[in-house]
């Protein structure tokens, strides 16, 4: 078996008496979309935060490209190759769409300590940013103020910023949330192709999207992975239906 791009081992995280992560071991293999599903409050975002470095696990490890990054912060993990999108858009709302994408390009360049030439006139930064915006279909909006974008466009911009990083793994927390049927379908098609560039750990509520995209699915309930398997296996699992899909087995 090929080595996973990303792996967690026995991640545990408690908030007081609540075990938000209870021994989570998952991995992300090259070329795959690994979906994490589970009811609200199951601990999906908490897991993402631990993977991306915003939250220290109580115990357990996170490995990225074979390297233990458990002690590293968000920025270090990003530089090592994590490209993440947020459940709630985290964008510089006062800035233009292009500037947000250029921030990603700047992070990718690793050279923010430049004080003289305007960023917007840096051809390399600009090309990388515009290319990403083009790929997510925001090229026509790049001079807009980000605050003036629709909800769906902000989600697209989230993805575009992650693209500028050229990451080794994408971590996406509910990218379809609030997109509507047409937007979800578009993004589904986009992610389908994106997995060839880098594998995607996808937290998503939209079951149509998950079943259409996922190579593997892990089901998280009360901080535990109760099942991991292919779409068909998960669909067929009685335990999953009971615990999550809400059907009587």
Partner 1 sequence: MIRERYLNLAVLAGLLALALWALAGDQPFTITLLTKVVILGLAAAGLNIALGIGGLVSLGHAVFFGLGGYAMGILAFHAQNFAPLELGPLSIAGTKSMPVIWLAAIAVSAAVAVVIGLLSLRTSGVYFIMITLAFGQMFYYFAISWSVYGGEDGLSIYVRNGFPGLNTLDPIQFFGICLAILCLVLLLSDRLARSPFGLALNAARQVPVRVETVGLSPTRLKLLAFVISGAITGLAGALYADLNRFVSPTMFSWQLSGELMVLVILGGVGRLIGPVVGAAIFVALEHLLGGLTEFWHIWLGVILLLIVLFARGGVVGLISPRRVGHD
Residue with tokens 């081992």: 9
* Both tokens assigned to 201: 């750990």
Task: Compute the Cα dihedral for 167, 48, 173, 143 and give only its sign.
Answer: negative
Exactly one of 12, 59, 61, 92 binds partner 1 (CB under 8 A); that residue is 92
Q: Which residues pair with 18 in a beta bridge?
A: 15
Q: Which does 40 bind (CB under 5 to 8 A by kind): Mg ion, partner 1, ligand ADP, none?
A: ligand ADP
Binding region for partner 1 (CB under 8 A) out of 4-12, 29-37, 115-123, 222-230: 115-123
Write the interaction track for partner 1 spanning residues 48-77; mark x where CB under 8 A is met and - where it is not.
----x-x------------------xxxx-
Binding site for ligand ADP (CB under 6 A): 15, 18, 20, 38, 40-46
90 binds partner 1 (CB under 8 A): yes
Of 171, 156, 154, the closest CA to residue 49 belongs to 171
The least CB distance from residue 70 to partner 1, in Å, is 17
Give 121: exposed, middle or buried? Use CB within 10 Å, 0-12, 13-18, 19+.
Answer: exposed
Task: Compute the Cα dihedral for 40, 216, 165, 147 and give only its sign.
Answer: negative
**Contact positions vs partner 1 (CB under 8 A):** 52, 54, 73-76, 78-79, 84, 86, 90-100, 102-104, 106-122, 125, 143-145, 161, 164-165
């Amino acid at each position: 078996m090929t080595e996973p791009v990303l792996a967690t081992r026995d991640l545990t995280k408690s908030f007081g008496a609540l075990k938000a992560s209870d021994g989570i071991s998952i991995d992300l293999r090259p070329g795959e979309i690994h979906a994490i599903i589970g009811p609200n409050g199951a601990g999906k975002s908490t897991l993402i935060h631990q993977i991306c470095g915003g939250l220290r696990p109580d115990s357990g490890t996170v490995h990225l490209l074979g390297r233990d990054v458990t002690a590293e912060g968000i920025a270090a993990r990003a530089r090592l190759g994590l490209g993440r999108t947020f459940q709630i858009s985290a964008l510089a709302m006062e800035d233009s769409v292009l500037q947000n994408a250029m921030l990603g390009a700047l992070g990718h360049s690793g050279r923010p300590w430049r004080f003289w030439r305007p960023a917007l006139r840096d051809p390399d930064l600009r090309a990388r940013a515009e290319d990403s915006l083009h790929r997510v279909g925001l090229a026509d909006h790049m001079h807009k103020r980000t605050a003036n974008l629709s909800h769906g466009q902000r989600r697209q911009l989230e993805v575009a910023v992650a693209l500028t990083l050229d990451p080794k793994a994408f971590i996406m927390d509910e990218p379809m949330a609030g997109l509507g049927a047409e937007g979800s379908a578009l993004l589904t098609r986009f992610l389908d192709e994106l997995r060839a560039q880098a594998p995607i750990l996808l937290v998503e509520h939209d079951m149509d999207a998950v079943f259409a995209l996922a190579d593997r699915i892990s089901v998280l309930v009360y901080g535990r992975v109760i099942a991991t398997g292919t779409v068909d296996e998960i669909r067929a699992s009685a335990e999953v239906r009971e615990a999550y899909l809400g059907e009587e087995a």
